[in-house]
Amino acid sequence: MDAADIVASVLIVGIIVVSLLSNVVVLICFLYNPEIRKQVPGLFILNLSLCNLLQSVSSMPITLVGLITTGHPGGDGFCQIVGFLDTFLTTNSMLSMAALSIDRWVAVVFPLSYHSRMRHRDAVVALGYTWIHSLCFSTVATCRSWVGYHHLYASCTLCNVRAKGAGTQFIVFTVALHSLTFLLTLVVLCVTYLKVLKVARLHCKRIDVITMQTLVLLVDIHPSVRQKCLDEQKRRRQRATKKISTFIGTFVVCFTPYVLTR
């Protein structure tokens, strides 16, 4: 192992540990908190956590073993199963984030009719679509032998292992896969959260108007208190933008390398 492989191995070990601990905590909270189980977003978060947890115990350890041994871990059949799970879980994770963003958009834009628009039955239907969508692409890739061990990725993943160069069918498949998963999810995230941000800024503007009217009426208020209220207004306007930017940025940072390398 060279220095780059050692650094990559340590990084993967850290990611595995953090992923296992964080997703197990999410599952424990879901199991022992009845309020979370009653909420529709809890179903999307549960599905996303399960996908991340399975990814942590299936694909990531194979990558770690591949880096350490610089060889093919397991047989071809085992690698086909891991490659199937890698494609299925990654696709399912992306679509789960899209479904969660749609749920948040409905909750913010239609707060009074949210419970009638987003019921547990609707969430189950949405999750059913994510599973069918992911199963279709991962099954096609496995049946066409488009999953296998790739030394560049040191993992069993989506790749054209039959031919040296990617054939036309494989190119069409990967373009369709990433367009209907990564690109679709990114568009949904941007559209829904931009609408959420618009509503949040409108609420902040209304609060700011009330705050300014109050400050005008309170003529005896101390200047430090007045400045503190003005600073809170500024932080309130920036808070929603930062949260939404962080959520979308995390999605791009986490999934873009996977999409580009495949």
The string of DSSP codes covering 184-231 is: HHHHHHHHHHHHHHHHHHHHHHHHHHHHHHHHHH-TT--HHHHHHHHH
Q: What are phi and psi of 152, to 5 degrees?
A: -65, -40
Task: List Cβ neighbours of 20 (8 Å cut-off, separation of 6 or more).
Answer: 53, 56, 57
Q: Looking at residue 216, what is its pLDDT? A: 53
Residue 78 in contact with residue 62, Cβ under 8 Å? Answer: no
The yes-or-no verdict on residue 164 having pLDDT over 80 is no
**Amino acid at site 224:** S
Percent of the chain with pLDDT strictly greater than 90: 20
Residue 147 in contact with residue 141, Cβ under 8 Å? Answer: yes
CATH number at residue 194: 1.20.1070.10
How many CB atoms within 10 Å of residue 211?
A: 15
The conformation of residue 179, written as its DSSP 8-state character, comes to I
Given CA atoms 225, 239, 191, 132 in this order, what sign does their dihedral have? negative
Residue with tokens 């060279």, as numbered in its chain: 2
pLDDT digits (tens, 9 = 90+) for 115-161: 888 888 888 999 999 999 999 999 998 888 888 877 777 788 887 76
Query: What is the H or E stretch that residue 163 is in?
Result: none
Compute the distance between CA of residue 218 and CA of residue 51 in angstroms, rounded to an integer: 54
Residue 82 in contact with residue 62, Cβ under 8 Å? Answer: yes
pLDDT digits (tens, 9 = 90+) for 195-209: 888 877 776 666 655
Q: Which domain holds residue 87?
A: 3-261
Using DSSP's 3-state secondary structure scheme, residue 156 falls into strand
Task: Give the total number of structural domains in the chain.
Answer: 1
pLDDT digits (tens, 9 = 90+) for 80-96: 888 899 899 999 999 99
Residues paired with residue 249 on neighbouring β-strands, in sequence order: none
Nearest C-alpha neighbor of 247 from the set 177, 194, 209: 194
pTM summary value: 0.82
Question: Across all residues in the chain, what is the average pLDDT?
Answer: 81
Q: Looking at residue 133, what is its pLDDT? A: 94
